[in-house]
Amino acid sequence: MISEKMAEAINEQINAEMYSGYLYLSMAVDFAEKNLDGFEHWLRLQAQEELDHGMRFLDYLQERGGHVELETIEKPEVEWKTPLEAFEYVYQHECKVTGMINDLVDLAEKENDRATMNMLQWFVDEQVEEEDSADEIVQKLKMVGDNPSALLMMNEKMAQRPVSEENTE
């Protein structure tokens, strides 16, 4: 049985993961409206991945006998001036999520909850990948600058993001 304190923290993380999915879906819509379908594609896949993360936490909480409480998902931003601004936001958001995951690890250690510590290791590793991916896009967008041709080339590259195994589970 999972502790009430740990269950409460995981419920907060479920909400944060669902918000992340909602945020990235909002960004995808913004890019679609700007005819940047490659960026839209990348963010739709990212949105689905975040929703899958939320479900992973939800399933874990149920497996451990915890009570799932779904809270209201905060409304995300809906428009960004440039792709660079959007992906700087993505990077900052992923850094925030990393902090939240680290806080969960700290709590699991404090609660002496080895099962949760083990489950969270997957998320610790995932956040390294998430931050790296977002930062790579930010750095490339900085190189692109105001060059429309380079932006369109990058848009084509973003359209090539494959559906991950995580998104097919």
Pair 41, 53: CB distance under 8 Å? no
pLDDT in tens, 115-126: 999 999 999 999
Q: What is the pLDDT of residue 166?
A: 58
Q: Structural domains in the chain? A: 4-161 (1.20.1260.10)
pLDDT in tens, 7-56: 999 999 999 999 999 999 999 999 999 999 999 999 999 999 999 999 99
Indicate the pTM of the whole model: 0.93
* Cα distance between residue 78 and residue 150, in whole Å: 25
Say what angle helices 83-110 and 4-33 make with each other, to 10 degrees. 170
- Render the burial of 135-150: b for 16+ CB within 10 Å, e for the rest: bebbebbeebeeeeee
* Cα distance between residue 90 and residue 74, in whole Å: 16
